[in-house]
Structure 1
Amino acid sequence: MRNYHVSKHSSFYAIGLSYKKADAHTRGKFSLDVPAIDEIMKNAKAQGTDGLLAISTCNRTELFGFAQHPYQLIKILCDQTQGTVEEFQEVAYIYKNHNAISHLFKVGTGLDSQILGDFEIISQIKQGFYRAKKHDMTNPFLERLCNSVIQASKRIKNETELSSGATSVAFASVRYILDNVPNISEKNILLFGTGKIGRNTCENLIKHSENSHITLINRTRQKAEAVAGKFKLTVKDYAELQPEIRKADVLVVATGAQLPTVSKALIHPKKPLLILDLSVPKNVSDDVLDLENVSLVHLDQLSQVTDETLERRKEFIPHAEEIISHVKSDFLKWLESRKFAPVINALKEKLKVMKAEEIDFHSKKLNDFDQNQAEIISDRIIQKITKQFANHLRKSESDPENSLALIQEIFQLEIDSEWVKS
């Protein structure tokens, strides 16, 4: 498979870690909030990087961008997180050029999700592109690539049943609660935080448990009230966290804090309590397990759900892969055309110079020379010549690298190699 270099100086890389090799604790060290992503964009731009996409979810943290060496991107990431380069390298993956492109397609279409067919990641890709654009860190390559991944994701949702049925981390959370807490409709449930998984869990709980004893607390009360209004929940101030936890039978933690916000000191030492920590980094301190009355379940344990719905989804993987292959093929054709364009344009300009020289020569030599007619004929010939070269370069059986080099040598063309980012 051919590699698609973006310039003679840099390549397109994907560097990151995910649930496959990195546990929640390690992923937490490398998680990025919006301010951290903004800093990454600023630092990358200052270092001369002109295209970068950052994605950070509970399951993965990844950078997609241009660099001479992947270590440049790794260092940019580690400088804005709690993890070290050594820790990153133990669990990381690095993809280059075509493989990096393929990886983003796989991630964005739910094939690489912790629960197969979970398409939450596509909104993260959209947000990541928005933040990159805000810092002038996008380019035609990244824009076209992200749009292609979004297009593939939409087609897979519409044309397959890869995401059919209620299987997600949020649904797995509710199933766990329903399976492990008897008489759930009579229990006190506390949702701490307004993270997306937490909100979805809350919505599923209301739908499946018929529970009217759900309370919501968030550091920012305004956010809590916005969520509570939709679901008709009770809202309490952050200052009331401890008494509310001590009243709860089930505690769902979904905050975006970088350090644990729930510890043993907040919990009633005798009342049975089930805690679901849906946060990355973990927001519940391990010391809660010192209490015999507490059961703690983390996101990764919930993500191991396997049921009939998930098994059925696997049947649609081949169809999804066909869609990805088709959309990716269109993207790579566009990419090749970007690669050829500078050579073809330079050839066209060279032929125009030759045309101008010949017209000037004959206009001085011939008294009845029709310059307008000569211009029309010459332009048509130039168009046909450049079209022939372009068609040759696009043929799959030709070697475009050698052909490009030969054209440049014959016509002595000077080419700007930064073809894909311009």
Structure 2
Amino acid sequence: MEPHLQANGKNFYAIGLSYKKADAEIRGHFSIANDAKRNILVQAKQEGIFSLVVISTCNRTELYGFAEHPFQLIKLLCEHTHGTVEEFEKVAYVHKNNTAIAHLFKVGTGLDSQILGDFEIISQLKISFKQSKKEDMVNPFMERLVNAVIQASKRIKNETDISSGATSVSFAAVQYILARVPHVSRKNLLLFGTGKIGRNTCENLVKHTKNDHIVLVNRTKTKAEEIAGKFNLVVKDYANIQSEIATSDVLIVATGAQKPTISKALIHSDKPLLILDLSIPRNVAVDVTELPNVTLVHLDDLSKMTDQTLQRRKQHIPKAETIITEIKGEFDNWLETRKFAPTIKALKNKLTSLKEAEINLQRKKYTDFDEEHADIISSRIIQKITNHFANHLKDENTSASESLELIQKVFQLQNK
């Protein structure tokens, strides 16, 4: 079934790395900033890669696209990140054609997420797809595939309980704080940065801790004020970050910076401080752990928290897989029909030109000839004939290539 996946002599590949084999540091090396994402798409187009979607989250970095060889995609990734090919090869995976399709279904539906059933990835996929479309880097295959994955994700969300209970790292972060920080409503909580996981954590903190004096600090104060307005937070200047840390009991870091933003040098207090680093690459330097009063927890540690929720979610995997099989089956059928679509189209065009010639002849022969009626009837017959051929070609017991050759010969067709 593989050959019909090829387009212009290129195969469909998924290349990437994830939390499964790559630790936070290595994932940080391959993290793709928004500008870099656009640059990858632009360069890919120049290099003849005509359809590409780029995903970069805290848990994974992946490229899905058509290429003559997967190394074209690997090279693109390494050129636009801090990662090297040698480093990539140690932790990477490369999937081709049907395996690549199956992988995207698994990723997009949360079955491959660090926390099972975390649907954060589907919104990332939608954003990446939109960006590729904007750069004119989406072919009909990619469009159909991504929409099928979105449909599967939606159905799994609605028809199973795979996302019940804790749904993300941000929720796990809050659970961690609630479990380890007594009298949390009276403690000083500081959020540094406005990364997505940080914002979600903040929202959950407001909801679950009943703490009404959470402080937010961000390099861009206007952005901090915008978010603070939504969640009823106190905004402080970035210039005061050191004194804010000194009075905090819990520091949540989600700056989205490419290098650590918090280090040992910024901490001048002996009181116990819990730091949660919810960023990829890591935004908190490991040297903070040299201070006896500091506890540092990274999102990789949070996602390892196994609880009853995860066990409950696992029970819903078979139902989710059934939904994927169904929707992927529909996609495979569409893919299968694409290889003989040009012949069916050429056959329809040939029959239509025969019809038009015959109607012209009959019009000249008979003065009372009902052209409109004849056109309707013959168009319907043409549709039925082409449907018969299409169904014949779809039949599993049919040798599609032999049948295509015969149809082209009999009707003297030129595919257009």
Same fold (TM over 0.5): yes
Paired amino acid for 2:40: I
Distance change >3 Å, CA 254–CA 405, structure 1 → 2 = farther
Provide Cα deviations, 1:341-392, integer angstroms capped at 9, x if missing partner: 11211233445667788999x99xx988999799888766654543332111
SS class of match (2:276): strand
Size of the aligned set, in residue pairs, is 413
Report whether the alignment pairs 1:63 with 2:58: no
Matched, 1:253 2:270: no
Q: Could you say if the C-alpha distance between residues 407 and 367 of structure 1 is closer, same or farther in structure 2, counting changes exceeding 3 Å?
A: closer
Q: For the residues of structure 1 that align with 2:408 and 2:69, how far apart are their CA atoms? A: 28
Residue 2 of structure 2 contacts residue 97 of structure 2 at CA under 8 Å; is this kept in 1? no
Paired AA for residue 19 in structure 1? Y
User: Which residue of the partner structure matches residue 146 of structure 2?
Assistant: 146
Match of 2:213 in 1: 213
- The answer (yes or no) to whether the contact 2:119–2:167 under 8 Å persists in 1 is no
CA deviations over 1:201-244 (Å, ceiling 9, x no partner)? 11222222222331101111111112211221110111111211
Kept in 1, the 8 Å contact 2:120–2:168? The answer is no
Paired amino acid for 1:319: K
1:99-128 CA-partner distances (Å, limit 9, x unpaired): 111111111111111001110111101101
State how far apart, in whole Å, the 2-side matches of 1:239 and 1:401 are: 70
Q: Distance in 2 between matches of 1:287 and 1:202?
A: 25
Is the contact between residue 253 and residue 279 of structure 1 (CA under 8 Å) also seen in structure 2? yes
User: Secondary structure at the residue paired with 1:17?
Assistant: strand
Decide whether the 8 Å contact of 2:5 with 2:12 is kept in 1.
Answer: yes
Distance 1:384 1:182 in 2: 73
Q: Deviations over 1:49-74 (max 9, x none)?
A: 22111111100111111111111111
Structure 1 equivalent of residue 178 of structure 2: 178
Q: Which residue of 1 aligns with 2:297?
A: 297
Are 1:276 and 2:282 an aligned pair?
no
CA distance in 2, matches of 1:23, 1:413: 56
Q: TM-score, normalised by structure 1?
A: 0.90
Q: Report if aligned partners of 2:359, 2:374 keep a CA contact under 8 Å in 1.
A: yes
Q: What SS does the corresponding residue of 2:110 show, helix, strand or coil? A: coil
Q: Relative CO higher for 1 or 2, CA cutoff 8 Å, sep ≥ 6?
A: 1
Structure 1 partner of 2:123:
123
SS at match of 2:149: helix
Partner of 1:241: 241
Q: 1:260-409 counterparts in 2 under 5 A?
A: 260-268=260-268, 270-351=270-351, 382-408=382-408
Q: What residue in structure 2 maps to residue 114 of structure 1?
A: 114
Kindly report which structure 2 residues correspond to 1:149-168, keeping only aligned pairs within 5 A, or say none. 149-168=149-168
Conservation of the 8 A alpha-carbon contact between 2:277 and 2:283:
yes
Q: Which moved more, 1:155-164 or 1:395-404?
A: 395-404
* Aligned AA (1:230): K
The amino acid that maps onto 1:137 is M
Q: Render the CA deviation track for 1:133-156: whole Å, top value 9, x for unaligned.
A: 111111222222222111111111
Q: Is the contact between residue 276 and residue 296 of structure 1 (CA under 8 Å) also seen in structure 2?
A: yes
Note if contact 1:3-1:98 (Cα within 8 Å) is conserved in structure 2.
no
What SS class does the counterpart of residue 248 from structure 1 fall into?
A: coil
Any unmatched runs of 5+ in structure 2?
none
Residue 25 (structure 2) pairs with residue 25 (structure 1):
yes
> Residues 4 and 97 of structure 1 are in contact (CA less than 8 Å); yes or no, is this contact kept in structure 2?
no
Counterpart of 2:203 in structure 1: which amino acid?
E
Task: Describe the shift of the 1:214–1:343 C-alpha distance in structure 2 as closer, same or farther (beyond 3 A).
Answer: same
1: CA distance, partners of 2:128 / 2:269: 42
Amino acid paired to 2:69: H
Per-residue CA distance 1:12-42 (angstroms, 9 max, x = gap): 1111111111111111111112111111111
* TM-score using structure 2 length: 0.91
Residues in 2 aligned to 1:313 and 1:402: alpha-carbon distance in whole angstroms: 48
Partner of 1:97: 97
- Root-mean-square deviation over aligned CA pairs: 2.6
- Alignment correspondent of 2:45: 45
Sequence identity (%): 63
CA drift of 1:186 comes to 2.4
Separation in 2, partners of 1:371, 1:142: 46
Point out the more displaced range, 258-267 or 223-232: 223-232
Partner SS state of residue 296, structure 1:
strand
1:239–1:401: structure 2 CA closer, same or farther, 3 Å change rule?
Answer: farther
Instruction: Give the AA of the match of 1:121.
Output: I
Letter of the structure 1 residue corresponding to residue 273 of structure 2: L
Between the aligned partners of 1:408 and 1:60, the Cα distance in structure 2 is: 47
What is the match of residue 420 of structure 1? Answer: none
Q: Partner of 1:80 in structure 2?
A: 80
Find the aligned partners of 1:402 and 1:242 in 2 and give their Cα distance.
75
CA-CA distance at 1:411 after TM superposition: 5.2
